[in-house]
Amino acid sequence: MNFLSYLINGISLGSVYAIIALGYTMVYGIAKMLNFAHGDVIMVGCYVTFLTMSRQGWHPLPAVLLSMVVCTALGITIEKIAYKPLRRAIPLAVLITAIGVSYFLQNAALLIFGADTKSFTSVVTLPALKLADGALTISGTTIVTVVACIVIMVALSLFIKKTKAGQAMLAVSEDKDAAQLMGVNVNATISLTFAIGSGLAAIAGVLFCSAYPTLTPYTGSMPGIKAFTAAVFGGIGSIPGALIGGILLGIIEILGRAYISSQLSDAIVFAVLIIVLLVKPTGILGKKMQEKV
Amino acid sequence: MKKFMSVLLATAMVATCLAGCGQKSEGASQAAGTEAAGASTDGAVFKIGSIGPTTGDAAIYGQAVMNAAQIAVDEINAAGGINGYQVAFKYEDDQADAEKSVNAYNSLKDWGMQILMGSVTTTACIAVTDKTAEDGMFQLTPSASSTDVIINDNVFQACFTDPNQGTASAQYIADNGLATKVAVIYDSSSVYSSGIEATFVEEAQAKGLEVVAEESFTADSKTDFSTQLQKAQSAGAELVFLPIYYTEASIILTQANGMGYAPTFFGVDGIDGILGVENFDTSLAEGVVLLTPFAADAADEATQSFVAKYKEAYGETPNQFAADAYDAIYVIKAAAEKAGATPDMSVSDLGAALTAVMPEISVDGLTGVGMTWKATGEVSKAPKAVVIKDGAYVAM
């Protein structure tokens, strides 16, 4: 029974990682860049929800929707100001810019909101599910997180397969120049990718803070790194890969903490990552990509 | 290549500039927030500096220390000062960070500080003690509780040391029969937390308590405690000992509530402040027991007068850190009077004089009657336990 409850905790944590990892993996697949500011967009989303819901007393639903709007706008703005001018620059320059944006967001939050910890009220009011005479308790947040993760994955896959904009994304990810020649608006497609990724970051942030209820300007950085790891683990650029990578990472982390050592759980996670990458350098579902010359 | 270099350098510059700006303006606002008060006479004054976090994770401690020390300084000045000299007090923020604490120390030295009452948190304080030892400055920390803090001869503590907190907690639990099966959740990346944990477990076993789970976390994984709580629950722990700070404790209480686990939670001074976390549901902290030298509802006159003054000035009930800081200022006064110190003494002469008399003085304060010090810097006073009831600390 303990094992089952560890497993459920792991899936719940992993679902959050998976939603965040989507942001990394989509942007990487299309713009071929690592958006290290993604974790900090999560933090901004949490603060927006916190301010509207806890300070102004809004209902959770409009609060989450507003935070998605703010994050989407923020994602597009970051892309326009910081990344678009560097579209033809070498990848390293964009990477450094992304790190700069990440620090900018953290320090801005530190100035605006202060460094003190805020306690985040869960947006989920669903009661906990008690199974097997109370021996197994699944919290409402866990249920909502897992369901949200599945819904987002399905919706996103359908969007990419069935819509024109989704097809355009696929085309840009395969060959930017050829897509442009075929009449795809590459800039608009990249902006759309950032918008979707950042909107999802808001959801991920709210779910993360609901499960682990503290909020500081550095809240986004550790889950950001873990989710990036999950994206690489599952195969960066692949959407199902983000799901598998995220959930496996969550399960390994929790089981490692439960059965091996609570101090070594992070070390175990990264050790597994190294082993996977040694065996399969492109990640679990990663495509083998030929470098273009 | 040239273009790349320029782009790279430009981004690097922008990034560092932005980071720098953020920190600088932050520093400025902290300095503006602190007060340099007291220097009312034109003659010589004792300049007492203090360092602690007024922003960041442990902000509640630093703020309490700043406020309470100011009350003590104002009282002393109103009553004629120390040996006839007025006292000037200045406080700097360090966000509980070692590097920032040393910077704060240096800027206080530029101000002319002669005695240091700080730093508030252990890690930051250890970094500063090396500097005060070099300068021979007398240092009394209100709340940094590790034994590593008092390695140098010039440093004294107004609070219990970590080993004492661990030992006293185990004794209290055993003597009052709070539980027989206990679990511990501690931060293995913090000197403070692991120090208390080690002595707690040792004493608990000596007292016949069964430690059924010893779980840890680190600074990088301090958001998810479901696994640690699960292990404590399935091991049948009736009491969970939390030698950690209130930020993590607030998550633990929330998650324990979510999974329907309701043992007695027992904490030490780090839990003090949990009721002040913004938006925290204080009903979750109901029944949490903590060991502290100070209870704000104590009936003695000194406590009541201090609590009334503090409430009037700052609108909240003072915590144990406030009381330790208030006492610390009076301890400095007692030592300075015993040594016959004057403000025209050099920093190191003053330091040597105060250090020499510390083992000889006895102070009646808010956190203990007849507090005395060993030459090592350790204080001796009796702990009290308080329980959180209806959102307030109540003596047990």
| Residues pairing with B43 in the sheet | none
pLDDT at B322: 92
Residue at B388 is within a domain: no
Using the Cβ of B228 and the Cβ atoms of chain A, whether some distance falls under 8 Å is answered with yes
Assess contact for B242 and B185: CB atoms under 8 A.
yes
Using the Cβ of A118 and the Cβ atoms of chain B, whether some distance falls under 8 Å is answered with yes
Residue of A20, A117, A215, A251 for testing the chain B interface, max B β-carbons within 10 Å: A117
Number of separate domains in chain B: 2
Residues 90 through 149 of chain B touching chain A, CB cutoff 8 Å: 95
Q: Above 80 in pLDDT, residue B25?
A: no
Residue at A9 is within a domain: no
**Helix or strand run (H / E) with residue B390:** none
The residues, ordered by sequence, that sit 6+ positions from B217 with a Cβ below 8 Å of its Cβ are: A262, A263, B185, B186, B187, B188, B225, B228, B248
For A150-191, write each residue's pLDDT tens digit: 999 999 999 999 999 999 998 998 888 899 898 899 999 999
Q: Which chain A residue's Cα is nearest to B13?
A: A100
Indicate if B326 and B357 belong to the same structural domain: yes
Q: Do B279 and A114 touch (CB under 8 A)?
A: no
Residue at A187 is within a domain: yes
Residues of B in contact with A107 (CB under 8 A): 18-19, 21-23
Among the partner residues B22, B227, B277, nearest to A257 by beta-carbon distance: B227
Q: Above 90 in pLDDT, residue B105?
A: yes
Q: How far is A166 from chain B (nearest CA, A)?
A: 32
Residue at B32 is within a domain: no
| Residues pairing with B33 in the sheet | none
Q: How far is A156 from chain B (nearest CA, A)?
A: 28
Residue at A26 is within a domain: yes
Instruction: Report the candidate in B224, B228, B225, B205 with the shortest Cα–Cα distance to residue B215.
Output: B228
Q: Above 90 in pLDDT, residue B114?
A: yes
Band (pLDDT 50/70/90 cuts) for residue A29 is confident
Instruction: Report the candidate in B286, B245, B279 with the shortest Cα–Cα distance to residue B265.
Output: B286
Using the Cβ of B278 and the Cβ atoms of chain A, whether some distance falls under 8 Å is answered with yes
Query: Three-class SS string for A62-112?
Result: HHHHHHHHHHHHHHHHHHHHHHHHHCCCCHHHHHHHHHHHHHHHHHHHHHH
Residue at B4 is within a domain: no
pLDDT at B3: 55
Residue at A198 is within a domain: yes
Mark which of B270, B292, B314 sits at the end of a domain: B292
Mark which of B269, B292, B315 sits at the end of a domain: B292
Q: How far apart are CA A257 and CA B187, in angstroms?
A: 14
Residue at A283 is within a domain: no
State pTM to two decimals.
0.75
Percentage helix, strand, coil, to 5, in chain B? 50, 20, 30
Residue of B221, B257, B283 for testing the chain A interface, max A β-carbons within 10 Å: B221
Q: How far is CA B218 from CA A167, B75, B116, B193, B243, in A?
A: 44, 42, 31, 11, 13
Residue at A273 is within a domain: no
Q: How far apart are CA B314 and CA B333, in angstroms?
A: 24
Using the Cβ of A191 and the Cβ atoms of chain B, whether some distance falls under 8 Å is answered with no
Indicate if B121 and B174 belong to the same structural domain: no
Instruction: Report the candidate in B118, B87, B140, B73 with the shortest Cα–Cα distance to residue B342.
Output: B87
| Phi, psi values for residue A225, rounded to 5° | -65, -40
Q: How far is A181 from chain B (nearest CA, A)?
A: 27
Q: How far apart are CA A119 and CA B253, in angstroms?
A: 12
Could you list the residue range(s) of the whole structural domain that residue B150 is in? 43-160+301-381
Residues 46 through 75 of chain A touching chain B, CB cutoff 8 Å: 50, 54
Instruction: State the amino acid at position A110 in one-letter form.
Output: L
Q: Torsion angle, CA of B191/B382/B375/B350, rounded to 10 degrees? A: 90
Q: How far apart are CA A192 and CA B141, in angstroms?
A: 55
Percentage helix, strand, coil, to 5, in chain A? 75, 5, 25
Assess contact for B161 and B147: CB atoms under 8 A.
yes
Residues of A in contact with B251 (CB under 8 A): 212-214
Higher pLDDT, residue B342 or B4: B342
Among the partner residues A99, A116, A139, nearest to B15 by beta-carbon distance: A99
Token digits of residue A202: 């808001």
- Average per-residue pLDDT in chain A? 88
Residues of A in contact with B55 (CB under 8 A): 114-116
Indicate if B355 and B336 belong to the same structural domain: yes
Neighbours of B134 (CB within 10 A): 11
Q: Do A103 and B280 touch (CB under 8 A)?
A: no
Band (pLDDT 50/70/90 cuts) for residue B368 is confident
Assess contact for A143 and B301: CB atoms under 8 A.
no
Among the partner residues A93, A213, A263, nearest to B188 by beta-carbon distance: A263
pLDDT at B40: 41
Indicate if B142 and B60 belong to the same structural domain: yes
Q: How far is A113 from chain B (nearest CA, A)?
A: 11
pLDDT at B26: 39
Cβ-count burial of B128 within 10 angstroms (0-12 exposed, 13-18 middle, 19+ buried)?
Answer: buried
Assess contact for A250 and A14: CB atoms under 8 A.
yes
Q: Above 90 in pLDDT, residue B155?
A: yes
Indicate if B180 and B288 belong to the same structural domain: yes
Band (pLDDT 50/70/90 cuts) for residue A98 is very high
Indicate if B99 and B218 belong to the same structural domain: no
Q: How far apart are CA A173 and CA B30, in angstroms?
A: 48
Q: Do B251 and A214 touch (CB under 8 A)?
A: yes
Q: Do B223 and A214 touch (CB under 8 A)?
A: yes
Instruction: State the amino acid at position B165 in one-letter form.
Output: Q
pLDDT at B27: 39
Assess contact for A166 and A159: CB atoms under 8 A.
yes
**Helix or strand run (H / E) with residue B362:** strand B362-365
Q: Do A265 and B26 touch (CB under 8 A)?
A: no
Q: In B51-154, which ranges are continuous DSSP H helix?
A: 59-78, 98-111, 122-135
- Residue A290 gets which letter from DSSP? P
Averaged over B367-385, what is the pLDDT?
85
Residue at A208 is within a domain: yes
Residues of B in contact with A258 (CB under 8 A): 227, 230-231
Residues of B in contact with A90 (CB under 8 A): 4
Residues of B in contact with A119 (CB under 8 A): 250, 254, 277-281
Q: How far apart are CA B347 and CA A149, in angstroms?
A: 62
Measured in whole angstroms, the distance separating CA B97 from the mean position of its chain's CA atoms is: 13
Among the partner residues A99, A115, A265, nearest to B55 by beta-carbon distance: A115
Q: How far apart are CA B202 and CA B257, in angstroms?
A: 29
Give the orientation angle of helix A2-31 with respect to helix A164-174, to 10 degrees: 70
Higher pLDDT, residue B5 or B335: B335
Assess contact for A212 and A42: CB atoms under 8 A.
no
Indicate if B52 and B80 belong to the same structural domain: yes
Mark which of B272, B292, B312 sits at the end of a domain: B292
| Residues pairing with B156 in the sheet | B140
Indicate if B278 and B238 belong to the same structural domain: yes
Using the Cβ of B6 and the Cβ atoms of chain A, whether some distance falls under 8 Å is answered with no
Averaged over B241-257, what is the pLDDT?
90
| Residues pairing with B187 in the sheet | B217
Number of separate domains in chain A: 1
Could you list the residue range(s) of the whole structural domain that residue A55 is in? 20-220
Instruction: Report the candidate in B87, B63, B64 with the shortest Cα–Cα distance to residue B306.
Output: B64
Residues of A in contact with B255 (CB under 8 A): 212
Identify the CATH number of the domain in which residue B246 sits: 3.40.50.2300
Q: Do B259 and A139 touch (CB under 8 A)?
A: yes
Q: Torsion angle, CA of B176/B181/B187/B191, rounded to 10 degrees? A: 50
Instruction: Report the candidate in A241, A79, A214, A189 with the shortest Cα–Cα distance to residue B222.
Output: A214
Q: Supply the ipTM of this predicted assembly.
A: 0.78
